Amino acid sequence: MGLGMHLTQEAELSIEQSSPSEPLLRVDNLRVSFVTRAGKIQALNDISFEMRAGETFGFVGETGCGKSQTALAVMRLTPEAGVIERGEIWFAGTNLTSNISQEFKIIQHKNNVKLKRNKTALKRLDQKINEIRGKDMSMIFQEPMTSLNPVYTVGRQLSETLLRHSVDLLVDRILARSDVTKEKLDGIINAATRGELTQQKLHEMLQNAGCEGLEDQIWFILSRKDIGVVQKNRRISSLPERKVKPLTTRFLVQLKKANGKIPILFVILNKLPIVRKSLWGVIEKEALDVSYELLSLVNMPNAESVLRQYPHELSGGMRQRVMIAMAIATRPKLVIADEPTSALDVTVQAQILELLRELKRSFNSAILFISHDIGVISEICDRVGVMYAGNLVEVARLDQLFADPKHPYTQGLLASIPKYGEKRELLQTIEGAVPNLIDPPKGCRFRTRCPRAFEKCSLGPPWLQIDKDHGVLCWLYGDSEKHVDQ
């Protein structure tokens, strides 16, 4: 599958450029709590981890351990009853939690706990984060049927992402077609006919011809397997015929100069239905064309007809492909995949994992992958964080985790997996139940189930760095300066 599309503009990022030596994402001492009628729930307790560009980092653990809440906190999408009490989230050099102390107040009177939100501070947060969320970081949610809007077509929902975050890209594509001539494309067509055209060579030829904006469109045509060479050449040579009217060109040029803000003259003209079609309507049509290309990139069967369909008309695997296409539409730096294969059969699951691997290779996006299935984690992740009852209890490279797990909970998880060729009467289990997070156990939250618990476990456990890539939250391996207090 060719994924040569350049789906974002490098200029005018809404976030600061971080140094290559700096992590893309850094979470420090993150604590998230939920205020309920029953009391305050400590959902996440002092979570710290880092991710670098192009890395796949996985979270694994039992249901309710805090995997999804960590992801939602990173996206600043914590549910209504939840708040980030403390900690920092740094993404590409920008602190996403710089004003958390102003966003809420927890009022506690005897046994009653109430949450009061600062609407002004939350509005400022939305204005800041909306320029990042969906563009530089995106999320593939756990259940695509509830994440996609049932009353809008797939094409409408994909286009909305592009119109919100990638107007510059759409404008460049349209203007590039208006500037090119058939003569400039002859060399490309000849090279493609001879089978000599790589994406790098296409990039160089278009650069020399001053037509860089056509690269995505031409490479998409060349990558199609459902049409022959003659038809591909015909489609490439017809690109200059898709020019727009002079008024539309003027509108697009002004739109580009104004950084996506429609000049006042065109705001007025855009209200006239007969004019709107040749102004903003042209951009909307381009967004639909890019949506088709995106669906094709994620191997969606009958992509053109799917654009006109509603979510309920698609299978689970097709809906998940739509979610992935939506997540990569702006070529984000970070993609969060929350249980993206949990509701799929094993065949489709393997296809989705391979698709995510290909996207990572092509776009160099970092992927935060969440799953309760350690087998799936082993298929795709470079490093793994094991979570239990709101604590991050171990972080290691994938090979380290399987070869030398340190935390008793990690050891229990791995021991419970059936092994090929091994005969057992009963599978090993972890005795006991996950603790109540309204009143969690003092000290280590796993100690009530741990077969190796001893006296010190009633105190806040230390975080020990076994080596550069391997850390564990446990008293079994000594003491450190950092302790996680419950």
Per-residue DSSP letters for 30-99?
EEEEEEETTEEEEEEEEEEEEE-TT-EEEEE-STTSSHHHHHHHHTT---TTEEEEEEEEEETTEETTTT
pLDDT at 344 over 80: no
Mean pLDDT of 131-145: 86
Listing DSSP states for 342-383 in one string gives TTS-HHHHHHHHHHHHHHHHHH--EEEEEES-HHHHHHH-SE
For the chain, give the number of residues. 486
Q: Residue 143 burial by CB count (10 A; 0-12/13-18/19+): exposed, middle or buried?
A: middle
Quick one: pLDDT at residue 92? 92
- Domains for the chain: give ranges and CATH numbers: 25-147+333-380 (3.40.50.300), 154-296 (no CATH), 383-477 (no CATH)
Is the pLDDT at 46 greater than 70, yes or no?
yes
Q: What is the pLDDT of residue 486?
A: 67
pLDDT at 260: 61
Q: Give residue 305's pLDDT band: very low, low, confident or very high (50, 70, 90).
A: very high
Specify the pLDDT at position 21: 65
Residue 224 clears pLDDT 90, i.e. is over it: no
Can you tell me the mean pLDDT for 34-39?
A: 85
Residue 5 has pLDDT above 80, yes or no: no
Write out the two tokens for 396: 């290691």
Cα–Cα distance list, 172 to 175, 202, 253, 328, 464 (Å): 5, 18, 9, 19, 51
Q: What does the pLDDT look like over 388-428, one tens digit per residue?
A: 999 999 999 999 999 999 999 999 999 888 877 777 777 78
Average pLDDT over residues 40-64: 93
Share above pLDDT 90 across residues of the chain, in percent, rounded to a whole number: 44
Does residue 455 carry a pLDDT above 80? yes
> For 388, what's the count of Cα atoms within 13 Å in the CB-facing half-sphere?
28
Asked if the model's pLDDT at residue 300 lies above 50, the reply is yes
pLDDT at 355 > cutoff 90: no
Confidence of residue 20 (pLDDT cuts 50, 70, 90): low
The answer, yes or no, to whether residue 377 has pLDDT greater than 70, is yes
Report the first-to-last Cα separation within the chain, whole angstroms.
48
Half-sphere exposure of 87 (CA within 13 A, CB side): 23
What is the value of pTM for the model shown? 0.86
What's the mean pLDDT in 164-193? 88
Q: Which residue has the tokens 């727009």?
A: 244
Is the per-residue pLDDT at 18 higher than 60? no
The whole-number pLDDT of residue 331 equals: 87
pLDDT at 274: 77
Beta-bridge partners for 312: none
Ordered strands of the 25-36 beta sheet: 39-51, 25-36, 82-91, 94-95
The Cα-based distances of 307 to 152, 275, 288, 312 in angstroms read: 10, 25, 8, 13
Q: Which residues pair with 107 in a beta bridge?
A: 114
The whole-number average pLDDT for the span 6-13 is 32
Q: Across the chain, what does the average pLDDT equal?
A: 86
- In DSSP terms, 473 is beta-bridged to 463
pLDDT per residue as tens digits for the range 260-285: 667 777 777 778 887 788 888 899 99
Instruction: Measure the CA–CA gap between 121 and 8, rounded to whole angstroms.
Output: 30
Tell me the per-residue pLDDT of 66-124, one tens digit each, with 9 for 90 and over: 999 999 999 999 988 889 999 999 999 999 998 888 888 888 777 788 888 888 888 88
Write the Ramachandran bin of 376: left for phi over 0, alpha for psi from -120 to 50, otherwise beta: alpha
pLDDT value at 58 more than 90: yes
pLDDT recorded at residue 146? 81
